[in-house]
Chains A and B, each alone.
Chain A
């Protein structure tokens, strides 16, 4: 009751104008305030770092006042090609540096240019293109050979 961090209708606190505040509401649930720091993962994967939100527990309702201090967007994070670890194992270090990492840097450049224009679809296509072009063509023989083998089995030749 005497907690100064609580809003009070008597003092004309307009922070929460819809708040139905009364003595009776607080009788069974003594309010208290707690200062916590927490992190929230947004649906799109963005990490929001919350700094000292005020949490008030009342009659089963939790009001969280948050302030976003810093936001790390997906634009700031460089993308990588999914099969880079495999390429690193199979390629020589020189070839990995000269051929593979150039594809990765091109992808990041194109993605960054698209994101600057707010072209999200173009940025996704840039990542997909890099995956396609970085794939060694000899590896494409594996699915092609598999399909030909299946066709030979199905068609009986």
Chain B
């Protein structure tokens, strides 16, 4: 399943690492804050949507919100994402890609 096409990029691995450290789900803006500038606000949803397409994260879209407008989606790393992250760390790919 983890062929070359669906393997997460360096930034996507960074997003996965942040999601794993959080445990419970995180909002997009929280990920931007936790990354300390490594992930920009303009690109966070691009990475998250790619990770969702590749099947590494699950997205929960609440029905109601405590603010006007649509509720914010909550992202959480799933089993496949954790396996990909563990594999990347094992082979040292994570550090090399994350620095790129």
Interface centre among B42, B48, B52, B68 (most CB of A within 10 A): B68
Q: Which residue in A78, A98, A134 is a CB contact (below 8 Å) of B69?
A: A78
B93 an interface residue at 8 Å Cβ cutoff?
no
Q: Whole-angstrom distance from the CB of B20 to the nearest CB of chain A?
A: 21
Q: Which residues of A lie under 8 Å from residue B49 when comparing CB positions?
A: 94-95, 98-99
Stretch from B3-11, B70-78, B80-88 that touches the partner: B70-78
Known: A95-B49, A133-B41, A137-B42. A102 touches B68 (CB 8 A): no
Q: Which residues of A contact B46 (CB under 8 A)?
A: 99
Residues from chain B with a CB closer than 8 A to the CB of A107 are: 69
Q: Is the interface of B mostly helix, strand, loop or mixed?
A: loop
Category for how many chain B residues contact A = 20 to 34
Q: CA separation between A106 and B41, bound complex, in Å?
A: 10
Q: Verify if A89 is at the interface (C-beta below 8 Å from B).
A: no
Q: Which B residues have a C-beta under 8 Å from some C-beta of A?
A: 27-29, 40-42, 45-46, 48-49, 52, 59, 65-73
Binding site for B on A (CB under 8 A): 75-79, 94-95, 98-99, 101-113, 129, 132-135, 137
